[in-house]
């Protein structure tokens, strides 16, 4: 028997702080920093950089500029460095919400 699928109940992009706040169905509330999200991008270009041992690297003052829903799959995040290729599926965003470097959790 598998556990219940965790899904987002509320997602707020705090433009002033650059944080992405997510309230999950399992009670977890997370505030994910733009820097952590950009570093966690799993697009093909970022994965290629990782395999080469090069990153992705980004400034700590990177800002999340926009987000777009990708159906029920997750979010496409757009950053102020022009990077907008990453799709962040809900399970991956939940995983990031559990990591200490993601921002604040409660």
* Residue 106 predicted with pLDDT over 90: no
Poorest-pLDDT segment among 66-75, 83-92, 93-102: 93-102
Q: For residues 48 and 26, give the distance between their C-alpha atoms in angstroms, rounded to a whole number.
A: 33
* Residue 1 predicted with pLDDT over 50: no
- Confidence (pTM): 0.87
On whether residue 83 sits in a domain, the answer given is yes
The CATH number for 76's domain is 3.30.2020.30
On whether residue 2 sits in a domain, the answer given is no
H helical segments located in 1-106? 34-39, 44-51, 90-98
For residue 28, give its domain range. Answer: 8-105
Q: Residue range 29-49: average pLDDT?
A: 94
102 falls in which pLDDT band (50, 70, 90)?
Answer: low
Exposure of 13 by Cβ count < 10 A (0-12 exposed, 13-18 middle, 19+ buried)? middle
**Residue 106 half-sphere exposure, CB side, CA atoms within 13 Å?**
5
On whether residue 3 sits in a domain, the answer given is no
On whether residue 1 sits in a domain, the answer given is no
Token pair listed for 8: 């987002």
């Amino acid at each position: 028997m598998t556990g219940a699928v965790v899904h987002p109940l509320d997602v707020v992009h705090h433009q002033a702080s650059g944080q992405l706040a997510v309230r999950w169905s399992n009670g977890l509330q997370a505030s994910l920093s733009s820097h952590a999200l950009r570093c966690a991008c799993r697009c093909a270009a970022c994965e290629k950089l990782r395999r080469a041992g090069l990153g992705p690297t980004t400034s700590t003052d990177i800002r999340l500029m926009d987000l777009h829903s990708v159906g029920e799959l997750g979010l496409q995040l757009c950053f102020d460095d022009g990077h907008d290729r990453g799709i962040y599926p809900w399970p991956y965003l939940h995983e990031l919400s559990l990591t200490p470097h993601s921002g604040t959790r409660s």
